[in-house]
Amino acid sequence: MLIGVVVAALVGAATAGVVYWRSDRGESTAPPKPPGSVIGPGTGRYVALGDSYTSAPRTGAPAGTPPGCGRSDNNYPHLVAAELRPVSFADVSCGGATTQHLSEPQTTPDGVNPPQLDAVTPDTTLVTLGIGGNDIGLVSLARDCLTTNRAVSLCKPRLTAGGRDQLAERITATATKVRTALTAIHERAPRAQVIVVGYPTALPDGNGCWPFLPIGPEDVAYLRTSLARLNSMLASEAKAGQAGYADTATPSKGKDMCAKARVKWVEDVVPSSPAMELHPNAVGERGMADVVLDLVD
């Protein structure tokens, strides 16, 4: 998702609006619980939609088809399903997915993933949605961030030239797409609790951790701010779209790609545990699952 190569480095409750605060989970908003919404051992259907921060390539054994989506049996949807034990579970997340691939097929290097929304059926009682990072194009926009001079920042000047902030503009444009997706989910599954899952903290405070994060200090700050803006947009759209919001950024603060092995939620350019570079590892997926589980009623 957000990042897959070094040069792209960055890269609940029954009532809506109830906020939960736990120091190890962050601030998350519980989803409304429609009448008839039941999820638990032997009952209900859980559907997971999303990109590679949801599918979590290499964090466990491959799961589901097509193989090109890179789904792991140790990603947060599988961990949530293992705890809830619903009668039916579908993880249709896929690496590289954008909001477009919620309603349209996605061609991967190894197979075609059907429109993800096809899995959301009237009997669905829980939906998690982790999407938006690929819509803002962090991978392509950050390709030129890599630099051999740790004092030089190549991306921010280019992406903010002329008084425009390209990432901010793309985040604003993506908001409408997320809103449309939430409407479609509610229409397809009126009894479902819906949770938008935010992105964990990928970048550290300060100037980064050269050379594991080989981009300049201004770029680290700019990309960190952009990721925070993306999460803020997702939280706002979740609230407006009658969905809960799983804040995974707060509990992962200090556990970014510059943190120590076995502490970090997100791997750097040379993973210290099984995961795709610059993506969540098994620790991160477990943490994300715990935040989601706190919100499920």
Which sequence positions are flagged as catalytic? 52, 279
Distance CA 219, CA 5 (A): 16
- Separation of CA 160 from chain center: 25
Cα R_g (the chain), whole angstroms: 18
DSSP H or E stretch at residue 94: none
H or E segment to which residue 99 belongs: none
Determine if the peptide bond prior to 31 is cis (ω within 30°). no
196 pairs with which residues across the strands? 129, 245
Closest Cα to residue 265, out of 92, 98, 56?
56
**3-class DSSP state of 292:** helix
Alpha-carbon distances of 162 from 153, 156, 157, 223, rounded to whole Å: 17, 12, 9, 18
Query: What does the block give as tokens for 25?
Result: 């989970």
Q: CA-CA distance, 146 to 269, in Å (whole number)? A: 12
> Could you identify the residue written with the tokens 């519980």?
30
